[in-house]
């Protein structure tokens, strides 16, 4: 599978500098490099564009403000006033996934959101955080989250396990959704890129045109998945406040 021109080769991790601490391999890899680029882009953009703090914003400052308002609106729509405390976290999550996806759209650039371990770690942080939040807000009553009121009593032995399973599968669905979308999109691009090279004469322009269109679609998906990640996080936070 790891042939030289396999479409999955782009997901291989190459260490840039080998680091080992306490027997653990924590090498700085191309994935880490993509994360570094992502964090630099976000922090520099959000800092420099708002540097002048002008009341009448420049175009770049307006972009930062739009992103701020976008997530602030999302949080207040789904969670309400309680959501303001989680704004920095949801905003960081959204920006990290969004710019991570966008950086991945640059040719030859690694996409760290196409690695299940990364998306799962992000989803696990959300899941564990929301669960802790639920217990802080409701104590032991948080378990009533799995009890659906207004259902005939004999249905509960069936419904409660389903609710528990669906709750526990949240981090999996959250992480796999992002990972699979990125994996599929980039694989598809690579497959078509292979066609461009292997097709005879000038017929390669057709898959090339397809790649151009797919790139547009992938940029849309990159935004959409970041949005979905953020809005689901908001919904989970909301669940931790309002059980049913």
Partner 1 sequence: MPQLNPEFFVSQLFWLAVFFTFLFVFLWRVSLPRIATVLEKRQNKIDENLSSAKELQEQAMEIEKKINDQINRAKLETDEKIKETINGLQEDVSSQLSSLDKDLEKKVSDAEKEILKSKDDQMKNINNEIVNITKLTVGKITDIELSDNELNKVIETQKGSFN
Interface positions with partner 1 (CB under 8 A) = 1-2, 8-9, 11-13, 15, 19, 24-29, 31-32, 35-36, 38-39, 42-43, 46-47, 50, 53-55, 57, 61, 64-65, 68-69, 87-89, 91-92, 95-96, 112, 114-118, 121-122, 179, 183
CB of 152 to partner 1, least distance (A): 43
CA distance 55 to 98: 27
Closest contact distance (angstroms) between CB of 135 and partner 1 is 22
Residue with tokens 């920006």: 95
- As a whole number of angstroms, the distance between CA 30 and CA 14 comes to 6
The residue (of 91 and 146) whose beta carbon lies closer to partner 1 is 91
Q: Which is nearer to partner 1, 29 or 145 (CB)?
A: 29
Closer to partner 1 at the Cβ: 122 or 230?
122
Between 20 and 201, whose beta carbon lies closer to partner 1? 20
b or e along 3-17 (b: 16 or more beta carbons within 10 Å of the residue's beta carbon)?
eeeebeebbeeeeee
Based on CB atoms, which residue is closest to partner 1, 8 or 228?
A: 8
Q: Could you tell me the smallest distance in angstroms from the CB atom of residue 104 to partner 1?
A: 14
Report the candidate in 75, 55, 77 with the shortest Cα–Cα distance to residue 65: 55
Q: Dihedral through CA 146, CA 152, CA 157, CA 162, nearest 10?
A: -50
Q: Nearest approach, Cβ of 215 to partner 1 (angstroms)? A: 22
Q: How far is the CB of 74 from partner 1 (least distance, A)?
A: 15
Q: How far is the CB of 236 from partner 1 (least distance, A)?
A: 17
Q: How far is the CB of 35 from partner 1 (least distance, A)?
A: 4
By beta-carbon proximity to partner 1, the closer residue of 24 and 154 is 24
In degrees to the nearest 10, what's the CA dihedral of 85, 91, 97, 98? Answer: 160
Residue with smaller CB distance to partner 1, 33 or 167: 33
């Amino acid at each position: 599978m790891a042939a030289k021109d396999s479409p999955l080769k782009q997901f291989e991790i190459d260490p840039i500098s080998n680091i080992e601490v306490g027997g653990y391999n924590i090498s700085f890899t191309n994935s880490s490099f993509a994360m570094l680029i992502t964090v630099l882009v976000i922090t520099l953009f959000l800092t420099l564009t708002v540097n002048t703090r002008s009341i009448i914003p420049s175009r770049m400052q307006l972009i930062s403000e739009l992103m701020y308002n976008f997530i602030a609106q999302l949080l207040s729509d789904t969670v309400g006033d309680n959501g303001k405390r989680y704004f920095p976290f949801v905003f960081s999550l959204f920006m990290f996934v969004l710019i991570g996806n966008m950086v991945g759209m640059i040719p030859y650039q690694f996409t760290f959101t196409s690695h299940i371990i990364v998306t799962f770690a992000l989803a696990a942080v959300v899941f564990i955080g929301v669960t802790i939040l639920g217990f802080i807000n409701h104590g032991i009553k948080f378990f009533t989250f799995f009890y659906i009121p207004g259902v005939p009593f004999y249905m509960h032995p069936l419904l409660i396990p389903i609710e528990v399973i669906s709750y526990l599968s949240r981090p999996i669905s959250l992480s796999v959704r992002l990972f699979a979308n990125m994996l599929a999109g980039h694989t598809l691009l690579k497959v078509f890129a292979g066609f461009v090279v292997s097709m005879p004469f000038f017929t390669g322009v057709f898959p090339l045109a397809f790649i151009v269109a797919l790139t547009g679609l992938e940029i849309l998906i990159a935004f959409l998945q970041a949005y979905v990640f953020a809005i689901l996080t908001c919904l989970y936070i909301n669940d931790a406040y309002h059980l049913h």
